[in-house]
């Protein structure tokens, strides 16, 4: 009797629940990956918005820092359209212990000084040391790009040089976030993080609950994907994804998927998808889907585009999808998606310090200049010139190419004698004395330097004027009108000085 009751219950369950046919399964997979592809194409569209890229502007460029120091100074140049945009922000992450821990400094602000009009800077207080690793993360509201897709983040990350798997938290950078509570907890994306090594890409999608829901036997079933796209492949409707799904999908299994469609006609239907490779690591431990593969599996695909690209980075976006049957129809729902982020595969590191060098001092047309070069590419924290002993003037850089050599200038200089350039890279101060010519003058008119202005000084000045071809025929103390020439005007002024008129 018990056997017949169990058989009857099984028949009732099967009668009221329908497992999808192969055709329905294929349709589910196609439509699920279509939603992932659409999010990936939105990311590409955002990064390649005209205001953001057509002028060649980048969110992160000309990154430079001081030498490793307690007061660690960093600079980054931003394009004009970004510095004027609303909700633009940046954070500096600095490690002085080989990336074990990080100092985060979100007080990154425009320097707004001559030579640094588009430069944002920060001073991060650290524990000091002789080695440093650091990276920059910048964010802009996509509304400034004419879009409504939340914050767009462009970030470097720590360097996972030992290919640690799974990476520890200190090796990940936060690439993008998503509002918590806008989806059921098992599909609610809270952030995307990433890191890299010489040959691998690592990505993590964090959920608001345990990862990852596989669904029931009769559905619904779930797809979790971290889409990867090449921002420079402008017309290419191809996306790649670290994807995880199991359970009722049957034919869906963890892998690197390639999804392709006609991007030029908008974000509509895809042409298809395929498994690019199953040669990747993945973990669903805790509340994270973590995945890693050789980056070349993606970038060597014929439809990826040029690599390295202009950003040396990849765009990332996360998506979760629910699929099932509603009656006889396939029902696909995008449960959640993250904001858009770009991982720039670079980190700044310095071990030890080489003192900077000052060369090519020049004084022309009342402008002083000197070339500052630093073998570590360090910026000049201090860049002054001392005139007439103790008056310090800040010099202005013509570029921020410190490794190649940046020229610093000071205009409207009217002096003579020896000036001293004084530059500081955060660790070492270098000095360079430069004689502007003409010597110095303690008492104007005192041509013989005896501390008295009298007729002897008139005779010496006349002799200098009459001996145009003589070497050293200029005396700054005889040049009373300071026009850098000696003539009758100086004689008249000298006579008047002696007569007290």
Residue 118 lies in a domain: no
Query: What's the alpha-carbon Rg for the chain, to the nearest Å?
Result: 34
Residues 225 and 363 in one domain: no
More confident residue, 473 or 425: 425
* Cα 8 from chain centre: 65
pTM reported for the whole predicted model: 0.81
Q: Which residues of 321-350 are buried (b: 16+ CB within 10 A; e: fewer)?
A: bbbbbeeeebebebbbbbbbbbbbbbbbeb
Whether the per-residue pLDDT at 475 is higher than 90: the answer is no
Distance, CA of 305 to CA of 310 (rounded, Å): 11
Residue 297 confidence (pLDDT): 98
- Tell me the mean pLDDT in the region 337-347: 92
When pLDDT is averaged across residues 62-91 and rounded to a whole number, the result is: 83
Same domain, 293 and 203: yes
Does the pLDDT value for residue 76 go beyond 50?
Answer: yes
Q: Residue 442 in 3-state DSSP?
A: coil
DSSP string, 102-133: -EEE---EE--STT-TTEEEEEEE----SEEE
Rounded CA separation 157/173 (Å)? 5
Higher pLDDT, 415 or 11: 415
Residues 335 and 310 grouped into a single domain: yes
Which among 107, 132, 41, 100 has a CA at the least distance from the CA of 426? 132
The CATH number given to whatever domain includes residue 417 is 2.60.40.380
Q: Are residues 394 and 425 in the same domain?
A: yes
Verify that 227 and 319 share a domain, yes or no: yes
Instruction: Give the pLDDT confidence score for residue 11 in this predicted structure.
Output: 31
172 pLDDT tier (thresholds 50, 70, 90):
very high
- Max mean pLDDT range (18-22, 214-218, 314-318): 314-318
Classify burial at 37, counting beta carbons within 10 Å of its beta carbon; exposed 0-12, middle 13-18, buried 19 or more: buried
pLDDT, one tens digit per residue, over 120-129 is 999 999 999 9
Instruction: Tell me the CATH number at 188.
Output: 2.60.40
**To 5 degrees, how large is the angle CA 104–CA 131–CA 157?**
45
CB burial of 399-419 (b: ≥16 within 10 Å; e: otherwise) equals: ebebeeebbbbbeebebbbbb
Which has the closest alpha carbon to 338: 217, 208, 468?
208
Q: Which of 435, 464, 482 is the last residue of a domain?
A: 435
Percentage of residues in the chain with pLDDT exceeding 70?
Answer: 85
- Cβ atoms of 200 and 294 within 8 Å: the answer is yes
Q: Which helix (H) or strand (E) holds 363?
A: strand 357-364
- In a domain, residue 119? The reply is no
Mean predicted lDDT score pLDDT of the chain: 85
Q: Is residue 316 domain-shared with residue 390, that is, in the same domain?
A: no
Query: Does 138 reside within a domain?
Result: no
Give CA separation, 112 vs 106, 130, 407, in Å: 18, 30, 19
Pair (228, 329) in one structural domain? yes
Whether residue 365 is found in the same domain as residue 320: no
End-to-end CA distance of the chain, in Å?
Answer: 135
Give pLDDT, residue 55. Answer: 37
* 3-state SS class at 249: helix
| Residue 272 shares a structural domain with residue 395 | no
Asked whether 92 and 347 are in contact (CB, 8 A), the reply is no
Strand residue runs (E) in 230-338: 238-245, 255-261, 270-277, 281-283, 288-294, 313-326, 329-337
Q: Is the peptide bond before 308 cis (omega within 30 degrees of 0)?
A: yes
* φ, ψ at 426 (rounded to 5°): 100, -20
Q: Which of 500, 481, 501 is nearest to 490 (CA)?
A: 481
At residue 150, the pLDDT reads: 63
Q: Does residue 104 belong to any structural domain of this protein?
A: no
- Maximum Cα–Cα distance across the chain: 139
Last residue of a domain, one of 339, 363, 388: 339
Pick the closest to residue 153 from 45, 315, 38 (CA basis).
315
Q: Using CA atoms, how far apart are residues 477 and 460, in angstroms rounded to an integer?
A: 11
pLDDT of residue 416: 76
Query: Is there a single domain that holds both residue 367 and residue 420?
Result: yes
Angle at 273 between CA 267 and CA 274, to 5 degrees: 160
Q: What is the pLDDT of residue 154?
A: 86
- CB 304 within 8 Å of CB 260: no
Question: pLDDT tens, 221-266?
Answer: 899 999 999 988 877 899 999 999 875 555 678 999 999 998 776 6
- Domain membership flag for residue 61: no
Instruction: Tell whether 191 and 248 lie within a shared domain.
Output: yes
Instruction: Establish if 65 belongs to a structural domain.
Output: no
Per the CB < 8 A criterion, the answer to whether 308 and 295 are in contact is no
**Domain range for residue 30?**
20-49+175-339
Mean pLDDT over 84-106 rounds to 89
pLDDT of residue 151 exceeding 80? no
Residue-wise pLDDT for 361-414, tens only, equals 998 888 999 999 999 999 999 999 999 777 899 999 999 999 999 999 999 887
> In this predicted model, what pLDDT tens digit does every residue of 302-316 receive, in sequence order?
999 999 988 899 999
Number of domains in the chain: 3
Instruction: Judge whether residue 272 has pLDDT over 80.
Output: yes
Domain-embedded: residue 252: yes
Q: Are 423 and 356 in contact (CB under 8 A)?
A: yes
The pLDDT tens digits for 313-330 are 999 999 999 988 877 788
Statement to judge: residues 330 and 211 lie in one domain: yes
Length of the chain (residues): 501
| Residue-level pLDDT at 14 | 37
- Band (pLDDT 50/70/90 cuts) for residue 9 is very low
Is 158 within a domain? no
């Amino acid at each position: 009797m018990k056997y017949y009751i169990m058989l009857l219950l099984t028949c009732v369950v099967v009668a009221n629940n329908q497992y999808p046919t192969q055709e329905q399964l294929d349709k589910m997979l196609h439509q699920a990956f279509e939603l992932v592809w659409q999010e990936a194409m939105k990311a590409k569209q955002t990064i390649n918005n005209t205001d953001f890229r057509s002028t060649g502007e980048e969110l992160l460029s000309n990154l430079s820092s001081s030498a490793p120091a307690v007061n660690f100074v960093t600079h980054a140049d931003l394009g004009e359209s970004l510095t004027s945009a609303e909700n633009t922000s940046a954070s500096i992450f600095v490690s002085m212990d080989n990336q074990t821990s990080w100092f985060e400094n979100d007080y990154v602000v425009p320097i707004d000084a001559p030579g640094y009009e588009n430069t944002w800077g920060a001073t991060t207080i650290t524990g000091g040391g002789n080695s440093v690793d650091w990276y920059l993360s910048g964010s802009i509201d996509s509304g400034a790009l004419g879009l409504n897709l939340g914050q767009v983040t462009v970030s470097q990350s720590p360097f996972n040089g030992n290919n640690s798997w799974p990476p520890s938290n200190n090796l990940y950078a936060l690439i993008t976030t998503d509002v918590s509570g806008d989806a059921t907890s098992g599909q609610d994306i809270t952030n995307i993080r990433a890191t890299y090594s010489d040959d691998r890409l690592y990505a993590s999608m964090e959920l608001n609950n345990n990862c990852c829901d596989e669904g029931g036997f009769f559905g619904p079933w779930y797809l979790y994907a971290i889409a990867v796209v090449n921002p420079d492949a402008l017309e290419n409707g191809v996306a790649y994804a670290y994807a995880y799904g199991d359970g009722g999908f049957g034919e869906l299994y963890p892998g690197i998927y390639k999804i392709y469609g006609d991007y030029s006609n908008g974000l509509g239907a895809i042409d298809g998808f395929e498994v690019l490779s199953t040669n990747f690591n993945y973990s669903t431990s805790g509340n994270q889907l973590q995945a890693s593969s050789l980056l070349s599996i993606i970038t060597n695909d014929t439809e990826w585009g040029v690599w390295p690209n202009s950003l040396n980075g990849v765009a990332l976006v996360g998506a979760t999808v629910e699929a099932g049957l509603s009656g006889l129809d396939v029902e696909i729902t995008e449960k959640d998606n993250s904001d858009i982020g770009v991982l720039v595969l670079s980190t700044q590191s310095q071990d030890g310090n080489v003192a900077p060098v000052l060369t090519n001092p020049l004084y022309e047309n009342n402008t002083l200049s000197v070339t500052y070069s630093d073998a570590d590419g360090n910026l000049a924290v201090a860049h002054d010139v001392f005139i007439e002993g103790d008056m310090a003037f800040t010099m202005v850089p013509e570029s921020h190419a410190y490794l190649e050599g940046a020229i610093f200038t000071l205009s409207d200089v009217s002096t003579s004698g020896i000036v001293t350039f004084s530059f500081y890279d955060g660790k070492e101060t270098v000095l360079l004395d430069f004689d502007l010519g003409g010597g110095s003058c303690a008492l104007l008119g005192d041509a013989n330097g005896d501390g008295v202005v009298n007729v002897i000084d008139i005779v010496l000045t006349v002799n200098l004027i009459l001996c145009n071809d003589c070497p050293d025929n200029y005396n700054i103390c005889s040049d009373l009108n300071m026009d850098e020439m000696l003539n009758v005007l100086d004689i008249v002024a000298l006579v008047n000085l002696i007569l007290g008129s």
